[in-house]
Amino acid sequence: MANELEKENAAQAAMDFVEDGMTIGLGTGSTAKFFVEYLAEEIAEGLVVRGVPTSEQTRRLAESLGVPLVDVEQVDRIHLTVDGADEVDEHAQLIKGGGAALLREKIIANASDLMIVIADSSKSVEMLGQFPLPVEVTPFGYTITAKKVYDALKKAGVLKPMINVRTGPGNKPIVTDGGNFILDCSCGAIPEAPLASALLSNIPGVVEHGLFINLARTVIIGSDDGATIFEY
């Protein structure tokens, strides 16, 4: 499939930023998976790095491929994080969290010297919001929190936000690695993403949200025959 090739090419291009001795944040999702696989190949050839996984899913993948890992509590510096995105706009603003790992992803991205986003061309958008915005919330009082999230999105210019708890088997709420619920907020468009980010962060009960603002410094968009690198 074209998108799979684009993902692979974006992940391959990110390998040019990897240097011997680095501690690297390992993202979560289908595109980040390709990066972990490429990284494992280079490690087998003698590259010396260690990874900090952003989810238990990524931890299992990295361990299965022989990528040396270190707990985030044991590092004092993360040189580079490579992660995917559900949407990325021309200002390198992101929506992330489709894989329910947004809390750990943001902690590690924020702690990194450089965050690189790798994505296929379908993830590049003019304005964020077509992909439902994930908001991670504590289970306690989550219906009250959902109402506050709705109000915040309205203040940020979203016309008709629709908010649903992400569910899994048995129609039960999905529980994140951190023990929380995910509210998926269908917005259509988020005209003022930085304002939405600030308002959501101020709501008691919101643990984290999927708007990544001023975190990505390099965006790599894959194509059928390579990748384009954007620096911010």
Please give the helix or strand (H or E) that residue 57 lies within, else none.
Answer: helix 56-65
**pLDDT tens digits, one per residue of 70-97:** 999 999 999 999 999 999 999 999 999 9
Q: Which of 6, 8, 87, 105 is catalytic?
A: 105
CA 143/CA 164 separation, integer angstroms: 10
Structure pTM? 0.95
CA 80/CA 77 separation, integer angstroms: 9
Q: Is the pLDDT of residue 181 over 70?
A: yes
**pLDDT tens digits, one per residue of 15-34:** 999 999 999 999 999 999 99
Given the structure tokens 């962060």, which residue do they identify? 201
Confidence tier at 2 by pLDDT (50, 70, 90): low
Q: Is 126 noted as a catalytic residue in this protein?
A: no
**pLDDT tens digits, one per residue of 102-113:** 999 999 999 999
Output the pLDDT for position 1: 62
Output the pLDDT for position 205: 98
